[in-house]
């Protein structure tokens, strides 16, 4: 009983520390590629806990005290960069306001609540001897822009990862699969001419024919967890003035990819069916998943949580190991005006992560 009371007391203290850290992080602007000040704040957290850490650019990470290279390693990861606040904010995005049992502020939900809960969880297990897994905690940068100087840059510096928990707002439910992302920049080519005469070959009309195909095509193979591949045309640009038939029209396709196809297969299918030139920005952001029978998933299920497939992309896309997306907060609040997380969700996140890991490590 005394040991249980001590563990609960430790969790309560760590949850309070996590909440205080979240308020500090909110108060520091940390747009993608501008996270140096929040990285310094994270360094201070590790120093206060007397936990040695390392930093690579704006990525800060640490490993457990009894790290054993002969044991498998679990990665705990979340990001400390944010998007820029949209124009609809009515509050100061950098003022951590507590109101109506909520904490408001940019990054409070995505993914500050997850990050500080994982940091508290790491601190809880940091010096425990005899664990079956090592633990590496990585607070990383550039997630919101899928940048190359975030988790992807850090991975070669880390020990081999057996599996990972990526902190994103899921209400602590278990996202056991996540769609990958392709961004395709397309250019329809025509011939310019005078709009008053029957001349030229309008690139807009050629682009429209391609877009009509994209809006109706369905890839035959459907993922049992993630559903169908989703194609969305999200940007279109053409023309210089009203009386000139445009000779080019550019448009961008957002493609959410499942494990049923490689990214290269998706690109080839689209190229075979539209006339426009197709250029992928990247083929790095692949679908990710973890088996439902993995011990960490089974631990979550034992706590009454459910599994699902996530349509959004996170840093899971650059991992080459089984990974679970799970964290406090709600995805619908991400990138929204007057973003918030419920205050209770921080303690629930810390408790939930610890309960899951106790069954595994």
pLDDT (0 to 100) of residue 4: 66
- Considering the chain, what is the average pLDDT of its residues? 96
CA dihedral (203, 205, 206, 210) positive or negative = positive
Return the structure tokens found at 162: 């057996």
Contact assessment for residue 164 and residue 322, using Cβ atoms and an 8 Å cutoff: yes
pLDDT (0 to 100) of residue 9: 86
44-67 mean pLDDT: 98
pLDDT band at 349 (very low <50, low <70, confident <90, very high): very high
From-to residues of CATH 3.30.70.360 in the chain: 180-280
6-11 mean pLDDT: 84
Give the C-alpha separation, 327 to 309, whole Å.
Answer: 14
Give the C-alpha separation, 144 to 131, whole Å.
Answer: 33
Three-state secondary-structure class, residue 335? coil
Whether the link from the prior residue into 111 is cis, omega within 30° of 0, is yes
1-178+287-358 architecture in CATH? 3-Layer(aba) Sandwich (3.40)
pLDDT at 5 over 80: no
pTM of whole model > 0.85? yes
48-62 mean pLDDT: 98
Give the C-alpha separation, 210 to 273, whole Å.
Answer: 8
256-271 mean pLDDT: 97
334-351 mean pLDDT: 97
pLDDT (0 to 100) of residue 8: 83
pLDDT (0 to 100) of residue 1: 63
pLDDT (0 to 100) of residue 2: 62
pLDDT band at 128 (very low <50, low <70, confident <90, very high): very high
pLDDT band at 317 (very low <50, low <70, confident <90, very high): very high
180-280 architecture in CATH? 2-Layer Sandwich (3.30)
pLDDT (0 to 100) of residue 252: 98
CA trace torsion 219, 222, 228, 229 (10° rounding): -50
Q: Which residues pair with 62 in a beta bridge?
A: 137
Q: If you compute the radius of gyration of the chain from its CA atoms, what whole number of angstroms results?
A: 23
Secondary structure E strands in the chain: 54-56, 59-63, 73-79, 97-99, 102-104, 134-140, 163-166, 174-178, 180-189, 193-194, 230-238, 244-245, 248-257, 277-280, 288-289, 307-310, 323-325, 340-342
Give the C-alpha separation, 64 to 50, whole Å.
Answer: 12
pLDDT at 253 over 70: yes
From-to residues of CATH 3.40.630.10 in the chain: 1-178+287-358
pLDDT (0 to 100) of residue 241: 95
């Amino acid at each position: 009983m005394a040991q249980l009371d001590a563990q609960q007391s430790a969790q309560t203290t760590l949850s309070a520390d996590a909440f205080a850290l979240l308020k500090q992080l909110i108060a520091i602007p940390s747009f993608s590629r501008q996270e140096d000040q929040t990285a310094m704040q994270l360094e201070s957290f590790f120093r206060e806990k007397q936990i040695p850490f390392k930093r690579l650019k704006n990525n800060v990470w640490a490993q457990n005290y009894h790290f054993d290279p002969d044991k498998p390693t679990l990665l705990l990861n979340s990001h400390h960069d944010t998007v820029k606040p949209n124009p609809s904010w009515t509050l100061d995005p950098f003022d951590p306001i507590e109101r109506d049992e909520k904490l408001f502020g940019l990054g409070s939900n995505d993914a500050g609540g997850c990050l500080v809960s994982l940091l508290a969880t790491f601190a809880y297990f940091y010096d425990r001897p005899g664990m079956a897994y090592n633990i590496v905690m990585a607070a990383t940068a550039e997630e919101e822009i899928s940048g190359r100087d975030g988790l992807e840059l850090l991975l070669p510096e880390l020990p081999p990862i057996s599996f990972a928990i990526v902190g994103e707002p899921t209400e602590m439910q278990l996202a056991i699969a996540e769609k990958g992302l392709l961004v395709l920049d397309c250019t329809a080519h025509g011939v310019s001419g005078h709009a008053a005469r029957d001349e030229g070959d309008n690139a807009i009309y050629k682009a429209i024919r391609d877009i009509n195909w994209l809006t109706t095509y369905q890839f035959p193979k459907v993922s049992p967890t993630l559903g169908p591949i989703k194609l969305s045309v999200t940007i279109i640009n053409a023309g210089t003035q009203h009386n000139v038939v445009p000779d080019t029209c550019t448009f961008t396709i957002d493609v959410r990819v499942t494990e049923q196809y490689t990214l290269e297969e998706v690109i080839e299918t689209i190229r075979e069916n539209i006339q426009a030139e197709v250029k992928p920005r990247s083929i790095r952001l692949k679908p990710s998943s973890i088996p439902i029978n993995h011990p960490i998933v089974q631990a979550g299920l034992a706590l009454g949580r459910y599994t699902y497939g996530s349509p959004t992309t996170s840093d899971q896309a650059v991992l080459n190991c089984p990974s679970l997306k799970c964290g406090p907060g709600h995805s619908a609040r991400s990138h929204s005006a007057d973003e918030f997380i419920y205050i209770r969700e921080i303690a629930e996140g810390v408790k939930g992560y610890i309960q899951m890991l106790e069954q595994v490590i």
